[in-house]
Amino acid sequence: MSAMLTLENVGMHFAVRPDHESGQHTVFDGINFTLNEGDRLGIVGRNGAGKSTLLRIMAKIYAPATGTVTWAPGVTVSLLSLGLGFKNELSGRDNAYIAGLLQGLTKNDAKQSISSIEEFCELGKYFDEPMNTYSLGMRARLGFASALLNRASVLLIDEVLSVGDKEFREKAKIALKDQLTHKQAIVLVSHSDTHLRDMCNAVRSLNDTSLVMRENTGPALVE
Amino acid sequence: MTLVNEMARLSLKADAQRYFLGYLWWIFEPLLWVGVFYLVFEVLLSSGRADFLAFLAVGKLSFIWFSKSVTQAANSLIGNRGLIGKMDAPKWLFPLAVCHEGLYKQMAVFALLMTLLLYQGYVPSVAWLWLVPLAITQYLLILGCGMAAAVLVCIRRDFQLLVQLGMVFLLFISGIFWDIDSIGNAALRENLLLLNPVASLIDLYRSVLMQGSAQILSQWLTVLLESIAILLLLTWVYRVLHYWIARRVVTQ
Q: What's the pLDDT at A1?
A: 66
- Asked if B226 contacts B197 with a C-beta cutoff of 8 angstroms, the reply is yes
**A71 at B interface, C-beta within 8 A:** no
**A89 at B interface, C-beta within 8 A:** yes
CATH number of the domain that residue A28 is part of: 3.40.50.300
Q: What's the pLDDT at B91?
A: 94
Cβ–Cβ of A90/B17 closer than 8 Å? Answer: yes
- Per-residue confidence at A70, pLDDT binned at 50, 70, 90? very high
- Decide: helix, strand or coil at residue A70: strand
Give the least confident one: A209-213, B49-53, B228-232.
Answer: A209-213
| Arithmetic mean of pLDDT, B25-31 | 93
User: Does residue A52 sit in the same domain as residue A33?
Assistant: yes
User: Does residue A185 sit in the same domain as residue A133?
Assistant: no
- The pair phi, psi for residue A30, each rounded to 5°, is 60, 40
| Arithmetic mean of pLDDT, A73-77 | 90
Q: What's the pLDDT at B34?
A: 94
When the pLDDT of each residue in chain A is averaged and rounded to a whole number, the result is 82
Residue pairs spanning A and B at CB distance below 8 A = 71
- pLDDT tens, position by position, B180-227: 888 888 899 888 888 999 999 999 999 999 998 878 899 999 999 999
| Arithmetic mean of pLDDT, B164-182 | 92
Cβ–Cβ of B13/A90 closer than 8 Å? Answer: yes
Cβ–Cβ of A98/B252 closer than 8 Å? Answer: no
Crossing angle for the helix pair A92-102 and B2-18, to the nearest 10 degrees: 150
When the pLDDT of each residue in chain B is averaged and rounded to a whole number, the result is 93
pLDDT higher than threshold 70 for residue A33: yes
pLDDT higher than threshold 90 for residue A206: no
Give the least confident one: A14-28, A70-84, B130-144.
Answer: A14-28
Chain B residues near any Cβ of chain A (below 8 Å): 2-3, 6-7, 10-11, 13-15, 17-18, 82-89, 156, 243, 246-248, 250-252
Structural domains in chain A (count): 2
- Which residue has better confidence, A81 or B173? B173
| Arithmetic mean of pLDDT, B5-9 | 90
A85 occurs within a structural domain: yes
Run of H or E residues at A156? strand A154-158
Alpha-carbon torsion A152, A154, A159, A162, what sign? Answer: positive
Hey, which residues 129-168 in chain A have their CB within 8 Å of chain B?
130
Q: What's the pLDDT at A163?
A: 66
pLDDT higher than threshold 90 for residue A97: yes
Give the least confident one: A146-160, B73-87, B112-126.
Answer: A146-160
| Arithmetic mean of pLDDT, B159-187 | 92
Structural domains in chain B (count): 1
Nearest by CB to B86, from A19, A63, A84: name it.
Answer: A84
Mutation target to probe the B interface, by most B beta carbons within 10 A, among A69, A101, A129, A158 is A101
| Arithmetic mean of pLDDT, A23-37 | 85
Q: What's the pLDDT at B214?
A: 77
pLDDT higher than threshold 60 for residue A222: no
Taking CB atoms and an 8 Å cutoff, what residues of chain B touch A78?
87-88
Question: In sequence order, which residues have a C-beta less than 8 Å from that of residue B73 and are 6 or more positions away?
Answer: B95, B98, B99, B142, B145, B146, B147, B149, B150
- Which residue has better confidence, B34 or A196? B34
- Which residue has better confidence, B2 or B51? B51
| Arithmetic mean of pLDDT, A185-189 | 89
A223 occurs within a structural domain: no
Taking CB atoms and an 8 Å cutoff, what residues of chain B touch A83?
82
Q: What's the pLDDT at B196?
A: 94
Q: What's the pLDDT at A152?
A: 84
pLDDT higher than threshold 50 for residue B61: yes
CA gap B215, B201 in Å, rounded: 14
CA gap B180, B174 in Å, rounded: 8
A95 occurs within a structural domain: yes
- Per-residue confidence at A216, pLDDT binned at 50, 70, 90? very low
Asked whether this complex has an ipTM greater than 0.90, the answer is no
**A90 at B interface, C-beta within 8 A:** yes
CA gap B251, A27 in Å, rounded: 13
Q: Which of A133, A151, A169 is the last residue of a domain?
A: A151
User: Does residue A71 sit in the same domain as residue A117?
Assistant: no
- Per-residue confidence at A210, pLDDT binned at 50, 70, 90? low
Cβ–Cβ of B87/A98 closer than 8 Å? Answer: no
How open is the CA angle A58-A62-A63, to the nearest 5 degrees?
A: 90
- Per-residue confidence at A161, pLDDT binned at 50, 70, 90? low
Cβ–Cβ of A61/B18 closer than 8 Å? Answer: no
Domain span including residue A128: 81-151
A205 occurs within a structural domain: yes
- Which residue has better confidence, A27 or B55? B55
Nearest by CB to A89, from B14, B82, B251: name it.
Answer: B14
Taking CB atoms and an 8 Å cutoff, what residues of chain A touch B11?
87
A58 occurs within a structural domain: yes
User: Does residue A61 sit in the same domain as residue A111?
Assistant: no
Q: What's the pLDDT at A208?
A: 58
pLDDT higher than threshold 90 for residue B251: no
A170 occurs within a structural domain: no
| Arithmetic mean of pLDDT, A180-193 | 84
Percent helix / strand / coil, chain A, rounded to 5: 35, 30, 35
A204 occurs within a structural domain: yes
Q: Which of A132, A151, A170 is the last residue of a domain?
A: A151
Domain span including residue B235: 2-251
User: Does residue A187 sit in the same domain as residue A128?
Assistant: no
**A68 at B interface, C-beta within 8 A:** no
- Per-residue confidence at A149, pLDDT binned at 50, 70, 90? confident
A55 occurs within a structural domain: yes
